[in-house]
Amino acid sequence: MAQPDTNDFLAGVIEGFYGPPWVQAERLELFDWMASWGLNTYFYCPKDDWKQRAIWRQTYTAEETSTLRELIAACEQHGIRFIYALSPGLDIRYSDPAELDHLRLRFEQMISLGCPNFALLFDDIPDRLDAADLDRWGSLASAQCHVANTMAAWVRERLPGARFLFCPTPYCGRMADARLGGEDYLPTLGRDLTPGIDILWTGPEIISKEITVDHAREMARVLRRKPLIWDNYHANDYDGRRFFCGPYSGRPRELIDEVAGLLVNPNCEFQLNYVAFRTLAEFVRGSGPWDPRAAYLAAMQEWHAQFATCGIPISVEDLVLLGDCYYLPYEDGPEAAALFQKLAALLGSDPSGWGGAANDFRATAVRLRDACARMAELRRRPLFYALCRRVWELREEMDLLERYVGTMAASQADGSRFGSDFHLPGTYRGGFVDRLQRLLRQTPEGHFLPAASATRTGQASRDHLHKDTPAVL
């Protein structure tokens, strides 16, 4: 595999998630990381910038332009390509020439700030046209191609070297298979979209466990150009209880030769993305077979410097164990997986036969519980704020399970009467959403079935919140 052309291959970070955007200081820290690691692209499209998506026709205020000008200048100083996107698809009228004027006005303002590259995004929108648009264009793909081709040509008249990106409405294999956007949407893009426009693609899924060389080649055949990967593997805006600090994985290094670039759309919390960005950089700039676990351990060793505390230090080993609990969407890290298997084996067997296995589990549980608690002493407070809700939930689980295993190992009794003064009904694992989540269970194949608790009446469920549970201390 050849090293990618640093002037052509896009490797970097998308700020494109749902939720609070990063603050300026975080973005500037990101650019320092990227420049030192060899990442070359920052793609600005946070969903919570209303003028990027919800009210895309409105220009930025003087204060907003000052922020964007600083970002663009910082990228230039660091040798990083800045890309700005608009997402007009929620309400654009494709057949109205005034809409193109709005797009030109928005892009013109960004050009005046020094923006060198642009994108139009048509993701997460209704896949239908109004009567006037359907009558003129015949399909959503044709209407979007017209807008994108017009704007790409307009931008390149002013900025001949500009990169121009396009995000389709069906942006993964599953969406395309479901005919989102209409019949032949992707082949129409491949045929009608100007060849120099990059097409963003997330892989077989919105969050793809794997992206293979064969998949990338098939998409290149359909799109008539190499796909540009918008990689959601570390994104967490769909699940506020988790974050992902595992390595860049599930993609072979040979993929680099088959795509126009690799851009990661990561955890919403900037502070939690060090390993994702660091391992992406190693994946792109390194050579030879890719070892995700080795890259993870090396990156965690570096990240550990940010975990200085005002109390008992957090060891690298404890940080790795904690990170394994928040690894990747489809897998736990090895240490977390081993801990889970040990616990599952204990709970599935008679306490009289637990022996030393109970002590082994309890020692690891206490170690993990205490590491979570020590996060409250982090000197880097934004890092603690990003972690606190997640790791406190993990701390509570470890505390409960360690107490349960300890009590059962000591008494070798039936655990049906075990309780804890620290974990009371309605407060611990409480709330409406939690109860909803218990009504359906998901099979490994992805199907949903009623859980056993789903047969209870609503009154019985409410009564459960108030019944007394004896504590075993």
Chain CA centroid to CA 279, Å:
15
Tell me the mean pLDDT in the region 244-257.
98
Q: For all residues of the chain together, what is the average pLDDT?
A: 92
Confidence of residue 285 (pLDDT cuts 50, 70, 90): very high
Domain boundaries, the chain: 10-288, 308-417, 419-473
Which of 2, 88, 73 is CA-nearest to residue 42? 73
The Cα 288–Cα 203 span in angstroms is 23
pLDDT in tens, 149-162: 999 999 999 999 99
122 burial (CB, 10 Å; 0-12 / 13-18 / 19+) is buried
Measured distance CA(120)–CA(117) in Å, rounded: 11
pLDDT tops 90 at residue 5: no
What's the whole-number mean pLDDT along residues 73-94? 97
Q: What is the pLDDT of residues 411-463, one digit of tens each?
A: 866 666 788 888 888 888 888 888 888 888 888 888 888 987 444 434 444 44
pLDDT, tens only, 379-419: 999 999 999 999 999 999 999 999 999 999 988 666 667 88
Confirm whether 124 is a catalytic residue. yes
Report the C-alpha gap between 276 and 267 in whole angstroms: 9
Residue % of the chain over a pLDDT of 90: 83
pLDDT of res. 403: 93
Q: Give how far the C-alpha of residue 217 lies from the chain's centroid of Cα atoms, to the nearest Å.
A: 24
The predicted pLDDT at position 471 comes to 33
Q: What is the pLDDT of residue 7?
A: 65
Q: What percent of the chain has pLDDT over 70?
A: 93
pLDDT per position as a tens digit, 96-113: 999 999 999 999 999 999
pLDDT at 44: 98
**Does CATH place domain 10-288 in 3.40.30.10?**
no
Instruction: Kindly tell me if the per-residue pLDDT of 357 is higher than 80.
Output: yes
Q: Which of 98, 86, 106 lies closest to 167 in space, CA to CA?
A: 86
pLDDT at 345: 96
- Using alpha carbons only, give the angle 302, 306, 308 rounded to the nearest 5 degrees: 120
The CA distance from 344 to 181, in Å, is: 44
Residue given tokens 């081709």 in the structure block = 149
pLDDT digits (tens, 9 = 90+) for 160-176: 999 999 999 999 999 99
Task: Check residue 406 and give its pLDDT.
Answer: 93
Give the residue-averaged pLDDT of 317-340. 98
pTM of the model: 0.91
- What pLDDT, on a 0 to 100 scale, did the predictor assign at position 462? 41
Domain 308-417: CATH class, spelled out: mainly alpha
β-pairing, 448-450 vs 440-442, is: antiparallel
Which position among 96, 101, 123, 124 bears the catalytic label? 124
Please give the average per-residue pLDDT across 243-268, as a whole number. 98
